[in-house]
Amino acid sequence: MCATCGCDSEAKISIHRIDQPTSLNLGDITFTPVEPKTTTLPNGRKQIDLEQDILLKNNLRAERNRGYFLAKNIVALNLVSSPGSGKTSLLEKTLHDLKTEESFFVIEGDQQTSNDADRIAATQVPVVQINTGKGCHLDSKMIWDAIQQLRPSENSILFIENIGNLVCPAMFDLGEQKRVVIISVTEGDDKPLKYPDMFQSSQLCIINKIDLLPYVKFDVEKAKNYARRINPTIQFIELSCTSGEGFDHWYDWLKKETIEVPVPV
């Protein structure tokens, strides 16, 4: 279906909390836009000049999520990468190291299985699994449904691990505060040029698996320059989930996000 991943969404989407489920029923968004111009044509036909963004609903639901997070002072971070770049490994180590200092919640997106959510649940952090079936990205409605089960507490950090895919998730705002794109040094250093939308819409780029740098042909500076060409303000952190190198920078960045109290505009 999708040119990139061949997915389709005929399969069922399931969302469930890994430990004890709780449910809040908050209903879906209702929205009445400005009435579009309507012209009556012969034979009772009608022309409607809608001029409406196709992703309007997703964007509105995302803004509602964002408002919910702002009100509860929750830092919501959307982690995106190619399959296997290290999203879950980054979360596991972060939760392990910081869970006594900060309160964390996790939403895990995967097409199939709850393997990643089980890895998170092992750290004792509350986690909801979203299985998208063949769908290749999370959307803001799934996040809304997931937070009704997860009920993240005030002043917490909510990590959302998106589906491993650098194309489709770029188009779908989830209501996150920051988008974090992860690339690993076992991928090509031209990733930013191949997936410009994702690098343009992210605020932080984590370069993972730097323990493997001696063995691979990955030019860190080149990758950064490509990313800056697309997004001049993007920040970088180089780290290794295996050796722990660079995690101090990541933790500093995270702490800064939680201190900078967001002010609604």
Partner 1 sequence: MHELSIVMSIVETAEEKVKEHHASSVESIDLVIGDLAGVDSQALDFAWDSAVKNTVLQKAIRNVIQVPARAKCLECDCEFGIKEIYDSCPLCGEPLLLIIQGKELQIKSMILN
Contact of 191 with 183, CB cutoff 8 Å: yes
CB 87 within 8 A of CB 81: yes
In 3-state terms, what secondary structure has residue 16?
A: strand
CB distance 128 to 158 below 8 Å: no
Interacting residues with Mg ion between 15 and 54 (CB under 5 A): none
Beta bridge partners of 178: 77
Min dist. Cβ of residue 116 to Zn ion (A): 19
Q: Which of 69, 82, 116, 139 binds Mg ion (CB under 5 A)?
A: 116
Separation of alpha carbons 202 and 233, rounded Å: 10
Give the residue, chosen from 209, 234, 250, 254, that forms a contact with ligand GTP under the rule CB under 6 A: 209
87 binds Mg ion (CB under 5 A): yes
The helix (run of H) or strand (run of E) holding residue 223 is helix 220-230
Binding positions for partner 1, rule: CB under 8 A: 1-5, 7-9, 38, 41, 43-58, 134-137, 139, 167-168, 170-172, 193, 196-197, 200, 226, 229-230, 232
**Chain centre to alpha carbon of residue 147:** 14
CB 241 within 8 A of CB 90: yes
Per CB under 5 A, 198 contacts Zn ion: no
Contact (Cβ atoms closer than 8 angstroms) between residue 167 and residue 198: yes
The site map against ligand GTP for 62-101 (x = CB under 6 A) is -------------------x-xxxxxxx------------
Q: Work out whether 246 is an interface residue with ligand GTP (CB under 6 A).
A: no
Which is closer to partner 1, CB of 199 or CB of 250?
A: 199
Residue among 89 and 231 whose Cβ is closer to ligand GTP? 89
Residue 126 binding: pick among partner 1, ligand GTP, Zn ion, none (C-beta 5-8 Å cut-off by kind): none
Q: How far apart are CA 140 and CA 208, in angstroms?
A: 27
Span of 68-76, 88-96, 167-175, 208-216 interacting with Mg ion by CB under 5 A: 88-96
